[in-house]
Structure 1
Amino acid sequence: MISLREVRDSDLPTFWEHLSDPAAQHVAAVTRQYHYDRGHFDSHWARIRSNPDVLIRTVLADDEVVGHAAVYGPPDEREVTYWIGRAHWGRGIATAALTALVDLVGTRPLHAHAAADNGGSIRVLEKCGFVITGHGKGFGQARDGEIDEVLLTLN
C-alpha cells in the first residue's frame, strides 16, 4: 500500500541516500548542489520544511520510506516534484504517490519538468493526467551538459 505522510526528521537519512545515488541522479539529469553535499542537503531540507508554501510529503510503501513528493512555487506556477529511491522503481509507487499528492492540492494548473529521455518519469506524469505542453533545454548537472526537457501541465 502506498501512502503519504508529513516528513519526519528520521526520513532525512533515507532521502539523502536516494538523492545522492549517482545512477538515479543521471536519470533525473537536473540536480542541485544538495544532491552532492550533505551540508547543502540539510540546509535545503530545513528551508523547504519551514516554508508554508511548500507541500512536501514522505512516500511510504507498506510503511517503508521510499521517497518524497512535493508541490511548490507561486500560486499560478505551482510545480510538482518527486523522487523515489531506485530500489523501488518500476512498481507503480511514483504514480500512486503523485496521484495522492495532486489530490491533496486543489490548485490547477500544476506543472512539471522532466529530462526528455526520462521515459519513466514522463509516463508517471502522464498517468496522473499531465500532458506535454512544451519542450526546452536545461542544464543537466548530473550529465555535465545541456539536456532536452519536456514541460508538462495538469489542468
Structure 2
Amino acid sequence: MSDAASHIRSIEHDGVTYRFAMPSAEKQRAVLFRLGKYGVEPMIRGLALAEVGAASSFMVAGGIVGTMLSRMPEDDFNFVCDSMLGKLFKEGSATPVTMEDFSGRLKTYFTLVVMALGNVFEDFTGLLTLFQKSTDSAEVVGSSQEPG
C-alpha cells in the first residue's frame, strides 16, 4: 500500500492541489528522450533552479511552456502531456481531470504538465544545480524567464 502511495504525487497551482500518478519508468525515459531531442534540456535546469528558490516554479514553468510549444512537434508534445497527466485528480475528488476540463485555460494545463515534470524528475535537480554553480549557467536560465 505504501509503495502505491509513493507513486502518487501532488502539485499545487492557483490554490488548487492536484494529484497525479507517476508515469512508469519506461514512459519517464521516453519523455526525457523527447525533451532532449528538441533541446528542451534547459527546462530541467530551470526547474532545478525553481527547486532551490532562485525563481518561482510557476514563472519558470510558464516560460518552459512557451519553449516546449515552439520546439516540439504536436505528437511529441501530446505524448509528454499524456504521460505526465494521464491520471490527474483534484485533491479530494475521485473523478479524473482531463485536458477538456481546462478549455479556455490551456496555459494552466500546460503549466501543470511542466510542474509535474519537475516533480517526477526531481532526482535530476541536485546534480543540475551543482552543474549550474560550477559553470555559472544559472544566469542564462534565469534571464530567459523574464516576461517578454
For normalisation by structure 2, the TM-score amounts to: 0.32
Larger fraction in helix: 2
- The answer to which structure, 1 or 2, has the higher relative contact order (CA under 8 A, 6+ apart) is 2
Q: Normalising by structure 1, what TM-score?
A: 0.31
Greater strand content: 1
